[in-house]
Structures are given as C-alpha cells and as structure tokens.
Structure 1
Amino acid sequence: MLYDLNIPWSPTTSPADLARTISFASSLGYTVLALNHTITPPIPSQITNPLPKFPSHSTTATPPPPTGTPSQPSQQQQQNKQPTILHRATVTLSDPSQNYRLPTLALAYDILAVRPTTEKAFQAACLSMAEPSLISLDLTQHFPFHFRPKPLMAAVARGVKFEVCYAQVLASSPSTSSSASGGGIGPPPDARARATFISNFASLVRATKGRGIVVSSEARGALGLRAPNDVVNLLAVWGLGSERGTEALGVNPRGVVVNEGIKRSGFRGVVNVLEVGGRESDVKKNQQQGQGQQQGKKGKKQQGGGAGGGGGGGDKGNAQKRKTPDEGGDGAQPTVSKRQAKKLRLALKEQEKEAS
C-alpha cells in the first residue's frame, strides 16, 4: 500500500479541485490519502473538524459485464474504487511552552502533526511531545539550527517520523493558490529555495541515516502529484537510497497511521489481545493427548484399588504407612546417635571409677 499523508485543504479549496486531486492520486496507485488542515495558533477552545468527509472504500456491487476478460477489472470498477481518506491537522509550532490544546485537537482528527519553526520547538517535538506522531518540515526555509543526530534519532526511537514534501520544490511558496481551472501548481520556485531544500534534505538524511522519513506531496493541485517510482528516483538523486525511499512511501507512513489508531483505540497503552484459533490438525492432536492422559489416570486408579483389596487391608492398600526402624516394625535394633553414645560412654566410665 502506498500513502500520501499531505493533501492540503483550506476553506477556499473548491470541491471539484479536491475531487480531481484525489482521483488522480488514486490513479497513480496511492491507496491511503490524508487531507491536511494547517492550523495557526491560537487554537480555539471549541475545536471542530471542517474537513469534508469521503467514503473510505466504495466498490460497485454489480458484477462485471460478461464481454470482458475475467483477469482484467472492468472500467466501471476502476472508476468507482476510491482510496481511504483520513483527516489530519498540522499545527505550526513556535513556542512549546504555550498551550496548543494538542490532546483535544488529536481527538478531532485521525493524524496530528506539528511544524516547528524554532530550535526550541523542534527539540520539544523530538524529545518530549507525546501527541504528534509526525514532524512536518518546510525544507525550502532556512532553519536557524542544524539537524543533529542525537535528537533526531531519539525521535525515531520514540516512533516519531519526519515528513518531507516534494511538491515544495515543484511549486511556489505555500501562500500561492492553484489556478481557477484546478490543475496548476503555480510558478516554479527560485533557484535559492530549491538549493535550500536539497541542502536541508541532505542534512536530514545524514542525521537520521535515512530512517524515519515519510515522503508526502503537499500538492495543491493534480499536476503537483508524482508517481511513486518517480518520487523514489527523485529521492535517490537527492541522497536517499531506493530502499529507504520505498519505505518512505509505504512502511513508514503506515506506522504513523497505525500508531495514531492505537492511541485512539487503546487506553494508557493497553490493547486487547484476541485468541487466534489454531489449525485443525493441531486441535485434534491436543484433544487426543488430553483423552490419553485421562485414560492413563483412570487405569492407575483402578490398579491401586485392586492391590488394596488383595492385601486384605481394606482401604489401606498402597497408602499404608511404612514403619521406620525406630518403631521396631521389622524387629531391628533402634539406632543411637553420636551424642547419646558419648553420654553412655561417660556414664560407664563414672561407674567404673566408683566401683574402683
């Protein structure tokens, strides 16, 4: 499965443009998309999710026409198949000491991400913040700090991923909106912004060793999207290997979605564990072993009862207490301890002295 966790949405986005972007992303092979709503503090106390709702999976229930080959899906099924649509919120983070209401905001969306703009906010997002599972970076901007391996690897160990958006190189600044026709991506960025993006991306790959990177589009139109193979090749040119690039489109974003789902379905890290039924052969084998053990116990009980009846002892049987040598059951002399033997010798010596 391929993921694109950043399809920007704003109140000015037309439904036709959004539907066209989603349809084109689905045709490129992306099966899970996330509509991103960027929120700038202050966050209101009453939080509502304004993102439009789409059906997660909708496939036609009618069978394909008999004229088509059975191995090829019909054109109607391809058109009716829709990707899974998630809702995401991205909070611009500048001062971590402020109250951003992140726990309340996380309950209203499927995915919560932060976009730090200062070194203090970046350190807090990497080391201490528990609500966001994704740190989104605008690599076209010049950061007032460097990407150091220690905080970044600590974030990767915690399960936090770093998002890189390739449309930032293809499109202009984020304030530029799409054209009225719904397909444009705006004029290309200048050479300085492109060089800054490549430099920041190389520093990020060097600090994380290519781990924990999620690649999204952040495309404001259908023309800003790229096919998965093109994205992997583009990342390889920028310094990320093809294997890590494939993980950035599949495994890593899937981990973000799964972790966010566990946070909302579990309670304090407790997850229900369901018993899985075994194979039929294993179940029959265990039943046969249990029946054999029960039959063995019954046979032992019957043997014990027969031995007790033959001895004439009634219910004593094998449970009769064994007599010790001290009790004299077999006529043997009782044993004498060393202390008692020493006392006897001393007593005999005293008697001999008195007699003499």
Structure 2
Amino acid sequence: MSVFMDLNLLFSEDRTRLQNLVETAAHLGFSTVAVNYVFEPSAKKKQEVPAPRPINELIGQLPVVQGRSRPIRVLNRLTVVMSDASHFRPNAPEYRRFDLLAVQPTTEKLFHAACMLHDVDIICISVTEKLPFFFKRAPINGAIDRGVVFEISYAAAIRDATMRRYTIANAVCLMESCKGKNVILASAAEKALELRGPYDIINLGQLFGLSDSDSKESVSSTCRGVLLHAETRKTASGVVFTMKIQQEALQDSADSEAPAAKRAKAT
C-alpha cells in the first residue's frame, strides 16, 4: 500500500477552513500534506516574505489518517511567484523557515533559471493561463538531474472550465518534454470540496499524459523524494541526516502491512 501526499494545500487565515482541508486530506488517505504560503512580490512596493504559522496554532488536533494508526503530517511550504529575476533571493534567511521551497516562473528566461540555477525543491507550472513559452528539453533535463520536480495542480480545473483547458494543455505540454519524470500532482485546494482522493488523482494523471506507474508515483514516491531533497537543500554541506524520514517510511510500511497480516491471521 502506497503512502500518498498532497504537497499543496493553500494557506488560509480562516482556521476552520484550513482545519477542514487537513481533516479531509486525512480522511481521503493522505499521510502528509504541506500548507502552501504563496508569495508574489511586486515591483511597486517592498513586500516581506510571509512567516509560517506554527501548525499547533492553525490546527488544534491533527486527524488520524484513514486506514493508518498515526496522525497526518503537516509541513510548511513557500511558493515564490517570479515575474522578475530579483524576486527570488537565493540566500534569503526567510526561506529557511519553510520545510519546502517552490517557485513559479512566468517567463521562459525565469523558467530556465529555475531549472538550472535556483536551489529549490519544486517548480510550479501555471494552470490558470496559457503559458507564454514552450518547454525545452535542456532546462527540464537539468532540473531532473538536480532532483528538482515539476508540479501540476488540479483544483483550478474544478473551479472553471477555461482553467480546465489550460490545466490539461499545459500538463500535456510538460509531459511531452519530461516524459513523466520528476512530476508531482497536487491540489492547490482552497477548500475541502476541491480535494480528490489519491486514486482519482492517479486517473487524472493519465489524462495529463502520465503512465499508470508514473501517475501513482506523482502522489507517492516522487513526493517523498521532494522531502529528502528539501532536507539536503537546507544543509550547507549537502550531507543530511535522514534517519527520521527513514523511520517514518518504515512506520508507514508497517501501518500498511498490519491490516493484511490481520486478515491473513483471521483466515
């Protein structure tokens, strides 16, 4: 049984809405989610990078994951929307307060820089408009070699028919270039009704051009790779102690095997 993750639940100041998002994700079977703080700098005025709120302040009690024996894991994520090269500051100490770091480039030049240069975990592909550039193999292969993943979100496709067309078109265009490698599918949900279960997302991935195995990995093992990449990124030497993550992976495996063992014993 796979361990499923949704690494993009949009942050909301409304605690009830955020609580409902996390509870619904746990009920659908997601073991790990990330609360996403979207930061879109403006050239007109100086803006501060938002500070992540402690999880225990946002959510009173973490719900138990459906079919498992432990609470859902909630991470903090920052997404920087880049329309200018100065919007991403590689050494900004504010970035280190987040578990995951993502960028959403809006031009071909910025996309190339994100793939080849920027020390990030996730590159977001816009799904709300037609992209003003085509994906090229060289920068995409560069990102894959560096362990950076590309993210396609689906909630916008639920909200609006036009965005649905953009989502499918941009996703298919990406898959033609990356061949399904290093892709994660996430919700970018603002409310609980926009969340879908892992197997619904896997079916959606096939619509985007992913194979059955790549689609399943896009909500499971590839997401776990993102967490490991983030741990490595946050260490100056690149040497990271990953025992905690390994222990969690073993616990997830034990949780998934326990029901099967009980059934076998009963028979």
Please, what TM-score do these two structures have when normalized by structure 1?
0.60
Q: Could you tell me how far apart the structure 1 residues matched to 2:166 and 2:47 are? A: 37
Structure 1 stretches of 5 or more lacking a match?
61-74, 172-188, 275-356
Counterpart among 3, 10, 35 of residue 8 in structure 1 = 10
Is the 8 Å Cα contact of residues 54 and 85 (structure 1) preserved in structure 2? no
Distance apart, 1:267 and its partner CA: 3.2
Check whether the contact 1:8–1:35 (CA below 8 A) recurs between aligned residues: yes
For residue 88 of structure 1, what is the aligned residue in structure 2? 77
Q: 1:244 aligns with which of 206, 209, 214?
A: 214
Q: Which residue of 2 aligns with 1:289?
A: none
CA distance in 2, matches of 1:273, 1:16: 33
**Which residue number in structure 1 is paired with residue 250 of structure 2?**
none
Pairwise CA distance, 1:83: 0.7
Equivalent residue letter for 2:84? D
Q: Counterpart amino acid of 2:192?
A: A
Residue equivalent to 1:136:
124
In the TM superposition, residue 251 of structure 1 has moved relative to its aligned partner by: 1.1
Q: Which residue of 1 aligns with 2:249?
A: none
Give the 3-state SS of the residue equivalent to 2:26 in structure 1.
helix
Amino acid at match of 2:184: V
Q: Could you list the per-position Cα deviations for residues 277-317 of structure 1 after superposition, in whole angstroms to 9, with x for gaps in the alignment?
A: xxxxxxxxxxxxxxxxxxxxxxxxxxxxxxxxxxxxxxxxx
Per-residue deviation, 1:140: 2.9
Identical pairs, percent: 31
Determine which of 106, 109, 116 is the counterpart of 1:117. Answer: 106
Question: Which residue does the alignment assign to 2:33?
Answer: 33
SS at match of 1:249: coil
- The aligned amino acid for 1:119 is E
Partner of 1:334: none
Deviation at 1:272, TM superposition (A): 6.2
Any conservation in 2 of the 1:36–1:88 contact (CA below 8 Å)? yes
The separation in 1 between residues aligned to 2:180 and 2:67, in whole angstroms, is 35
Give, in angstroms, the shift of residue 99 of structure 1: 5.5
Larger Rg: 1
Structure-2 residue corresponding to 1:229: 199
Instruction: Indicate the residue corresponding to 2:95 in structure 1.
Output: 106
**Counterpart contact for 1:7–1:35, Cα < 8 Å:** yes
- Superimposed CA distance per residue, residues 183-215 of structure 1 (whole angstroms, 9 cap, x where no aligned partner): xxxxxx13x332222111111111000001011
What is the number of residues matched between the two proteins?
A: 235
Structure 1 pair 81/138, CA: closer, same or farther in 2 (3 Å)? same
The 8 Å contact of residues 217 and 225 in structure 1, kept in 2 or not, is answered as yes
Aligned CA distance change for structure 1 residues 198 and 80 (closer, same or farther; 3 Å): same
Q: Measured at CA, do residues 272 and 59 of structure 1 come closer, stay the same or move farther in structure 2, by a change above 3 Å?
A: closer
Contact 1:41 1:100 in 2 (8 A): no
Report the CA distance between 1:259 and its aligned residue: 1.2
Larger RCO, structure (CA 8 Å, separation 6 or more): 2
Q: Is the contact made by 2:121 and 2:149 (CA closer than 8 Å) also made in structure 1?
A: yes
| Rounded Cα–Cα distance in structure 2 between residues aligned with 1:45 and 1:268 | 30
The residue aligned with 1:331 is: none
Distance in 2 of aligned mates of 1:24 and 1:217: 12
Shift of residue 149, structure 1, vs aligned partner: 1.6
1:160 alignment partner AA:
V
Uncovered stretches (5+) of structure 2, i.e. residues with no partner: 244-267
Which residue does the alignment assign to 1:323?
Answer: none
TM-score normalised by the chain length of structure 2: 0.79
Bigger proportion of residues as strand: 2
2:260 maps to none
In the TM superposition, residue 263 of structure 1 has moved relative to its aligned partner by 2.5
State the 1:166 CA deviation: 1.1
8 Å contact kept, 1:4–1:33: yes
Q: 1:59, 1:138 → 2: CA distance?
A: 31
SS at match of 2:30: coil
Aligned pair partner of 2:188 in 215, 218, 231:
218
Structure 1 residues 227, 213: CA separation in 2 closer, same or farther (over 3 Å shift)?
same
Distance 1:223 1:150 in 2: 38
Q: Distance in 2 between matches of 1:242 and 1:90?
A: 28
SS in 1 for 2:152: strand
Distance 1:194 1:222 in 2: 19
Q: How does 1:223-302 map to 2 (within 5 A)?
A: 223-264=193-234, 266-271=235-240
